[in-house]
Amino acid sequence: MAPDLEQLPVAVDAMGGDRAPDEVVAGALQAAEELEVPVLLVGDPARLGRLDLPARVSLLAATQVVGMDEDPGRAVRAKRDASVVRCAEAVRDGLACAMVSAGNTGAAMASALLRMGRLPGVQRPAIATPIFVPGSTPTVLLDSGANTDCTPAVLVQFAQMGWALATERFGIAKPRVGLLSIGEEPAKGTSMVKEAHALLAGGAAGPAVNFIGNVEGRDVMSDRVDVVVTDGFTGNVVLKTLEGCVKAVVGGVLQAFTSSEEAKQAAKVVMPALAPLAEGLDPDTYGGAVLLGVNGVCVISHGSSGARAIVNAVKVARHAVSERLVARIEAMVGPVTASGHTH
Amino acid sequence: MAPDLEQLPVAVDAMGGDRAPDEVVAGALQAAEELEVPVLLVGDPARLGRLDLPARVSLLAATQVVGMDEDPGRAVRAKRDASVVRCAEAVRDGLACAMVSAGNTGAAMASALLRMGRLPGVQRPAIATPIFVPGSTPTVLLDSGANTDCTPAVLVQFAQMGWALATERFGIAKPRVGLLSIGEEPAKGTSMVKEAHALLAGGAAGPAVNFIGNVEGRDVMSDRVDVVVTDGFTGNVVLKTLEGCVKAVVGGVLQAFTSSEEAKQAAKVVMPALAPLAEGLDPDTYGGAVLLGVNGVCVISHGSSGARAIVNAVKVARHAVSERLVARIEAMVGPVTASGHTH
């Protein structure tokens, strides 16, 4: 990467997401203004309408769109002028320092993988998602959906990449890395998890990674661990289980708050104290997940992202560039040896 | 099973659980009184102290205890006079109609499996756990931890057994059975999940089972589905993820409620409206999980069960007996054919 990477704009997929293009464009303009970050809006000028582009914002035309329900691999191969594909190309070609998309997650992954390429030695890129922990830094959960079937050696690389992200994004000096299982003992879990435990406990992730052993589902939202490593099937189930649980519990609380006139009045009094919790639980706060293991910064914001989520995603992308996330990962993931171990 | 099964007492493992024997004994006595159910307390007379046994309560001596952290298989084989083993024997020998334990989950499973035996045709018994859904009947999640590595044919049996439990325990006429995956499309998930989907969609669980396809983690605490089928690794991760999420969110709300004098006063006003939610989220409310596929009723209450959890577990056990849960499962699970399919 060129030393002047930080001068380049962040490419924002203007057509990606349930609320695109309006909310996404609004967020991109807001990011340029508030964060003083140059932004490259990538989308179809015909659909974006008349835009008065302010300073720091430029436009890259892309006439096609990958829909939220399209098959990602097929769409990315067929639609060479899709906004998400052009975002990844902008990073590859040195026109942008990073990309942000709130569209089809699989399409963002496929675009980044096919256009930016994998980092040397990385077997499988992974999606890392920050999970809110009340009163602490978020937990990095990976893989949260890129790879359904994984091998123990792949999980070792997830540990390395998750470690790198936790140091970069949350400034944790020695992130505690745990392997998701169903008991703390090394003998707990599937055969794949047990083999991964043996590799990690044997130092396969390298001396920097502080492996604390198995962790359980209840630890994900606690401050017991900083990076939770798992396969993309389990990780995606965990992520969506948390989403459903937060929705059910918060929904129940809000219903109680509106159950009577007295409750409504009382709720007004406690609401300010609940604000930090509500903000933490709001998926817009963290600016989304990051695809780790590709040769560039790719931030994937959730599908229903509003303007604020896009601002935060641009902030995350920018931070990853200035804190050299890709170089950190490159330094962690050594070439894979014949034994399947790294280092 | 004898027709007079309902006359028999429920065997309660007096030594099992973090709060045994005091809370467990208190719960057992309370169950006998409140539910008018005969109870067989199983434990070490030397450790139980002087008990004035009221009407409907009898004592079965067992001098050994399986600790919460002991290796279940080894402990059950070595400790032939353990309270949890004697509970399972009481069911096998026609001294009790069902067993309840809040002790070592693996030991309760192993005892039930070794002493009561598997039902004909059942490949792998599974633990089914009810998950609270605000404003609806609970979702049955299985397997929530008995079998880490599963086959597609085993998941088909879980669908059948979970269906039987949902009809018995929650009186749902046509339970909606979903397969846990990471997307609704049949092509989503691990190869094992995709094969299980094909079997279930092809009717392998029999005409009664209303298979609604794949469901996601966010559906577990929703009213979209009544029975969620998954392997014991994923199910256990989901269960503990929910536990951790509820703890974090409820903890955050309670902290806000005590953050100032005004908040404390306001909290008093909204607390009554929050009571149904708090009760639903309290693990003591549902009386625990059930081991399905063994030849008898085995209710596994959580390790920190207090008296109320034991009362509810006895109620669940008694209901399963009177509503013929074991016979329902037997009728659902046909003999396994050479192809690995059932039916």
For an interface test with B, the pick among A240, A260, A282 (most B C-beta atoms closer than 10 Å) comes out as A240
pLDDT, residue A335, reads 56
Using H for helix, E for strand and C for coil, what is the string for chain B? CCHHHHHCCEEEECCCCCCCCHHHHHHHHHHHHHCCCCEEEEECHHHHCCCCCCCCEEEEECCECCCCCCCHHHHHHHCCCEHHHHHHHHHHCCCCCEEEECCCHHHHHHHHHHHHCECCCCCCCEEEEEECCCCCCCEEEECCCCCCCCCHHHHHHHHHHHHHHHHHHHCCCCCEEEEECCCCCCCCCCHHHHHHHHHHHCCCCCCCCEEEEEECHHHCCCCCCCEEECCHHHHHHHHHHHHHHHHHHHHHHHHHHCCCHHHHHHHHHHHHHHHHHHHHHCCCCCCCEEEECECCEEEECCCCCCHHHHHHHHHHHHHHHHCCHHHHHHHHCCCECCCCCEC
pLDDT band per the 50, 70, 90 thresholds, residue A75: very high
Chain segment A207-256, per-residue pLDDT in tens = 999 999 999 999 999 999 999 999 999 999 999 999 999 999 999 999 99
- Nearest Cβ partner for A245 among B148, B245, B273: B245
Q: What is the mean pLDDT of chain B?
A: 93
Chain segment A299-310, per-residue pLDDT in tens = 999 999 999 999
Chain segment B60-70, per-residue pLDDT in tens = 999 999 999 89
How far is the C-alpha of A9 from the C-alpha of A58, rounded, in Å?
A: 9
Chain segment B253-281, per-residue pLDDT in tens = 999 999 999 999 999 999 898 998 999 99
* Overall average pLDDT of the A315-331 stretch: 97
Asked whether residue A50 carries a pLDDT value surpassing 70, the answer given is yes
* Overall average pLDDT of the A7-13 stretch: 97
Chain A residue closest in CA terms to B150: A190
Which chain A residues touch B72 with a CB distance below 8 Å? none
Length of chain A: 343
Across B256-267, b (16+ Cβ under 10 Å) vs e yields: bbeeeeebeebb
Which chain A residues touch B218 with a CB distance below 8 Å? 240-241, 243-244, 247
pLDDT, residue A174, reads 96
Query: Nearest CA to B175 among B184, B164, B185, B183?
Result: B164
* Overall average pLDDT of the A17-31 stretch: 96
* Overall average pLDDT of the B168-187 stretch: 96
Using H for helix, E for strand and C for coil, what is the string for B91-103? HHCCCCCEEEECC
Quick one: tokens of B134? Answer: 């605000």
Among A2-11, A133-142, A190-199, B253-262, whose mean pLDDT is lowest? A2-11
Asked if A270 lies within 8 A of B257 by C-beta distance, the reply is yes
pLDDT, residue A341, reads 47
pLDDT band per the 50, 70, 90 thresholds, residue B335: low
Task: Report ipTM (2 d.p.).
Answer: 0.93
For an interface test with A, the pick among B149, B192, B245, B302 (most A C-beta atoms closer than 10 Å) comes out as B245
Bond into B143 cis (ω within 30): yes
Q: Going from the N-terminus, what domains does chain B have, and what CATH number goes with each?
A: 1-122+293-333 (3.40.718.10), 127-285 (3.40.718.10)
* Overall average pLDDT of the A285-293 stretch: 90
Residue B282 contacts A where some CB pair is shorter than 8 Å: no
- Nearest Cβ partner for B244 among A189, A222, A253: A222
pLDDT, residue A176, reads 98
Contacts of B284 (CB under 8 A, 6+ apart): B302, B305, B306, B308, B309, B312
Cβ-based burial of B57 (10 A; exposed 0-12, middle 13-18, buried ≥19): buried
Chain segment B92-123, per-residue pLDDT in tens = 999 999 999 999 999 999 999 999 999 999 99
Which chain B residues touch A253 with a CB distance below 8 Å? 253, 274, 277
Beta strand pairing call for A57-61 and A39-43:
parallel
Q: Is the pTM of this model over 0.90?
A: yes
Contact A112, A119 (CB under 8 A): no
Asked whether residue A132 carries a pLDDT value surpassing 90, the answer given is yes
Asked whether residue A163 carries a pLDDT value surpassing 80, the answer given is yes
